[in-house]
Amino acid sequence: MELRCVRTGVILGSLVALAVVGCATGQTTTITGSGDPVADRQRLMKNNGANWAEIQAKVKAGNAEAVAVNAEALSLHAQRIPSLFPAGSLTEKSKAKPDIWQKWPEFQAAAKNLENRAGTLRDQAVAKDAAAVTATVATFGREACGTCHTPFRVPPPQQQPAPPRS
Amino acid sequence: MGSQARCLVLALLLLSPALLSKSAAAQTPSAAEIARGKYIFGATGGCGCHTVPKEPVNAGGRKYDGPFGTVYSSNITPDRETGIGSWTDEQIITAIRLGRRSNGERLVPVHPYTVFNGMGAEDLKPLVAFLRTLPAVKRANQPKKITVPMFESVFLPAWLAAFAPRETPPTAVPTSGPARGEYLVRAVGHCGECHTPRTMTMATDNSRFLAGNPKGPEDSEVPNITPDKATGLAWSEEEIADYLGTGNKPDGDVAGGLMGEMIEGTLAGYKDLTKADRLAIARYLKTIPAVKNKIGK
């Protein structure tokens, strides 16, 4: 009996200790990505592009309410955008313009704008307000993505065809 | 005063309000004319070269570097001192189309007058009427810095005469069909200014119309938008029309850079074109010769 109590006590104590250590390290750990911010942000933007293409396809197919999951992804990704543009990360592979770092508050505001608008779109979809979703989607490309892409990105020279949809 | 004279005075008094209002109507453009002007303003991309982003519309001052030096766009607000408020309609139209200021001075063809020469008078007059309705902004034009000797007296007139392709004004502005698309692409939208490669002399090479420019404005690589399958624009007509209206590309990307500016415009842009006009542009782009010209890696 005593032995069992001791054993339980040891196990519980170990768990508590692990939890404390876990929390302590958790507080100081931040997601830093792969260590290559250009690759990380290009991956994130490609993902955003895929989500945006899917949103448009869903709206065209009359399935406006289903865009919530894509809009949520866009909103969450937008929160990460500023952290993916650390100073000195303008490499040859990057399509970013130096203006990002010269007008940093404007760049941050553009990312926040995407976060907010994507959040609005998500809420409209969750509320099953198809008319509101359609209206938001009509201007989203220009007013959510474009406010950042127009001043802060060198556009790609090649026009890509639409990816095949299954 | 005889009875005949009395009758004449009476007739003049009765007629004068009608005469006055008729002449006033000729001077004051109608709301429909101003709306048409705004539409054309949008079809040029909002005359965005004349606006520094996030600064007063049409107040000029945007910088352009060229092989001949540096120029700044002009203030085209109705301010009488620093803008075009004291110019007549005819003088403004001459500047837009023929590249001459009201004092006879020649404009540097960064303002694409050789292309705008293809605009119809029925569109230019409303455009000027619209420009006059905008707020006047007092901002003096910045002087240009030309580095090529005798540029304006010798080089520019010779270049214009020998190399620069010049569009021809239509007898009437086309209202539908491929001709409408051609008019919007070649003249009003001045697409070739960025999308057409340039020859050694920096004139647009219209034998490769819209085949892309690896060294476009502001150091951008401008895509080939001829229907070439491998290197051109592979989008459907519907996708092109959607892109011009929304900035959305079929692959989920969106317009950016100067094209983003043209679509968004200032007070109006490509996005404000009607669906019919955007489709006319798309259809026309499918009819131009496909040119193989890969831009970018």
Separation in Å, CA B58 to CA A68, B49, B84 = 40, 8, 11
Distance, CA of A24 to CA of B288 (rounded, Å): 66
Distance, CA of A42 to CA of A27 (rounded, Å): 28
Separation in Å, CA A104 to CA A74, A109, A111, A113 = 21, 9, 11, 14
Per-residue pLDDT, averaged over B79-96, amounts to 97
- Note the pLDDT tens digit of each residue in B243-271: 999 999 999 999 999 999 999 999 999 99
Q: CA angle, B178 as apex, B259 and B196 as ends, to 5°? A: 40
Please check the confidence at residue B18 and state whether its pLDDT lies above 50.
Answer: no
ipTM of model over 0.90: no
Tokens of residue A20, six digits: 């404390």
Please check the confidence at residue A147 and state whether its pLDDT lies above 60.
Answer: yes
Distance from CA of A103 to the nearest CA of B (A): 13
Distance, CA of B85 to CA of B138 (rounded, Å): 11
* Mean pLDDT of chain B, nearest integer: 91
Q: What are phi and psi of B69, to 5 degrees?
A: 140, -155
Asked if B246's CB is within 8 angstroms of A142's CB, the reply is yes
Tell me how crowded residue B254 is: count the other CB atoms within 10 A of its CB.
Answer: 27
CB of A102 within 8 Å of a chain B CB? The answer is no
| pLDDT-derived band at A156, boundaries 50, 70, 90 | confident
Please give the domain boundaries of chain A with CATH numbers for all domains: 37-84+94-155 (1.20.120.10)
Distance, CA of B259 to CA of B213 (rounded, Å): 14
Query: Three-state SS for B285?
Result: helix
| pLDDT given for residue B182 in this prediction | 97
Q: What are phi and psi of B85, to 5 degrees?
A: -60, -30
CB of A19 within 8 Å of a chain B CB? The answer is no
Q: Give the residue from chain A lying closest to B229, CA to CA.
A: A161
More confident site: A14 or B264:
B264
Q: Give the residue from chain B lying closest to A52, CA to CA.
A: B252
- Note the pLDDT tens digit of each residue in B159-168: 999 999 999 9
The domains of chain B are located at 31-287
What is the 3-state composition of chain A as percent helix, strand, coil, each rounded to the nearest 5?
75, 0, 25
Q: CA angle, A28 as apex, A23 and A30 as ends, to 5°? A: 110
Separation in Å, CA B42 to CA A76, B127, B274 = 35, 10, 11
Distance, CA of B156 to CA of B46 (rounded, Å): 27
Per-residue pLDDT, averaged over B136-150, amounts to 95
- Note the pLDDT tens digit of each residue in A39-88: 999 999 999 999 999 999 999 999 999 999 999 999 999 999 999 999 99
Tokens of residue A70, six digits: 């894509």
Please check the confidence at residue B292 and state whether its pLDDT lies above 80.
Answer: yes
Q: pLDDT over 70 for what percent of chain A?
A: 75
Per-residue pLDDT, averaged over B25-37, amounts to 86
CA B155 to chain centre: 24
Tokens of residue B284, six digits: 């026309």
Q: Give the residue from chain A lying closest to B294, CA to CA.
A: A158
